[in-house]
């Protein structure tokens, strides 16, 4: 019997037992090769309830999952099922109502706002659908901004930003402002900006939501390439089954819970067992 370090609902596992291996892989404690690893993201019984006046919305009803370093995971489900809320709670943008979130072994749910902001700036990148690029800055200025904010010297920040723009195929557009770029190009600038700090973890919310199919395919292929080359972990909220199919794993959600492909409420472990 091997005792794992988690304080989650499952505290130990017999690594000789197939079912437990699958369970542990789902929680991120085993690599696909069977090696025991720690998940880069793990959460236990995460509940998020929004209260506005008399109205209570249970956006997350007790989510437990683990994501392994280097995985590219899709989160899918109908509008309003809690995908963005899950991403916000796991990344520490939003506070959980109850439950525990750990990123790289640090308990996010115990950090104050300043510590969470610093942790996000150091370790995470964000790709959102509506670009969030600053319109008065050029592409390269948008990409270098996170580096300047975190205190990197301007010349070195500019060089890193240009390198990233080259990686996403936009070096020749570096001096243009977002208004002069196409939707796909803007999204690629957003990806470059999300990655410029070399984050361990990248969160994407509908990164292809308003792109045509060809551009969407290119953006996903680019994320996949960066995920493979840099071993960065990607969590991608998407409505697009094709994006889901390009990921290592799909987490299906419905009505604030994780469900299997038949829509039955489950844990991620059972979901994976069900899919073999």
Ligand X SMILES: Nc1ncnc2c1ncn2[C@@H]1O[C@H](COP(=O)(O)OP(=O)(O)OP(=O)(O)O)[C@@H](O)[C@H]1O
Q: Which of Mg ion, ligand X, none does 79 bind, CB closer than 5 to 8 A by kind? A: ligand X
Three-class SS state of 119: helix
Rule CB under 5 A: is residue 84 a binding residue for Mg ion?
yes
**Least distance to ligand X, CB of residue 50, Å:** 3
> Measured from the CB atom, is 89 or 161 closer to ligand X?
89
Residues 73-92 that bind ligand X (CB under 6 A): 79-85
For 227-232, the CB contacts below 8 A with 24+ separation are 227/70, 227/72, 227/202, 230/195, 230/198, 231/69, 231/70, 232/70, 232/195, 232/199, 232/200, 232/201, 232/202
Rule CB under 6 A: is residue 59 a binding residue for ligand X?
yes
> Measured from the CB atom, is 14 or 242 closer to ligand X?
242
Binding residues for ligand X, how many (CB under 6 A)?
Answer: 11
Q: Which of Mg ion, ligand X, none does 52 bind, CB closer than 5 to 8 A by kind? A: ligand X
Sheet holding 98-103, edge to edge: 55-68, 39-52, 98-103, 106-107
Q: Considering Cα of 223, then 228, then 229, then 234, what sign does the dihedral take? A: positive
Rule CB under 6 A: is residue 130 a binding residue for ligand X?
no
> Measured from the CB atom, is 81 or 96 closer to Mg ion?
81
> Measured from the CB atom, is 82 or 178 closer to Mg ion?
82
Q: Residues 47, 97: contact at Cβ < 8 Å?
A: yes
Q: Which residues bind Mg ion (CB under 5 A)?
A: 84
Q: Which residues bind ligand X (CB under 6 A)?
A: 50, 52, 57, 59, 79-85
């Amino acid at each position: 019997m091997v005792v794992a370090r988690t304080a989650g609902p499952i505290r130990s596992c017999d690594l000789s037992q197939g079912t437990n291996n699958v369970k542990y892989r789902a929680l991120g404690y085993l690599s696909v090769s069977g090696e025991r690893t720690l998940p880069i993201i793990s959460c236990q019984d995460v509940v998020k309830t929004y209260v506005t006046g008399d109205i209570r919305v249970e956006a997350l009803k007790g989510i437990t999952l683990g994501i392994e370093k280097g995985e590219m995971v899709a989160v899918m489900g109908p509008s309003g099922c809690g995908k963005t809320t899950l991403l916000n709670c796991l990344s520490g943008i939003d506070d959980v109502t109850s439950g525990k979130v750990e990123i790289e072994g640090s308990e996010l749910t115990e950090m104050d706002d300043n510590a969470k902001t610093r942790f996000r700036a150091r370790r995470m990148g964000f790709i959102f659908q509506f670009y969030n690029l600053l319109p008065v800055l050029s592409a390269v200025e948008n990409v270098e901004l996170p580096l300047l904010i975190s205190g990197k010297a301007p010349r070195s920040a500019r060089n890193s930003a240009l390198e990233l723009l080259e990686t996403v195929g936009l070096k020749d557009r570096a001096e243009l402002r977002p208004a002069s770029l196409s939707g796909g190009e803007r999204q690629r600038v957003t990806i470059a900006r999300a990655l410029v700090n070399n984050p361990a973890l990248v969160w994407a919310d509908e990164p292809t939501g308003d792109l045509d199919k060809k551009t969407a395919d290119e953006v996903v292929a680019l994320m996949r390439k960066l995920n493979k080359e840099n071993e960065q972990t990607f969590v991608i909220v998407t409505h697009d089954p094709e994006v889901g199919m390009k990921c290592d794993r799909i987490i299906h959600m419905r009505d604030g819970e994780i469900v299997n492909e038949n829509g039955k409420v489950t844990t991620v472990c059972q979901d994976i067992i069900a899919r073999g």
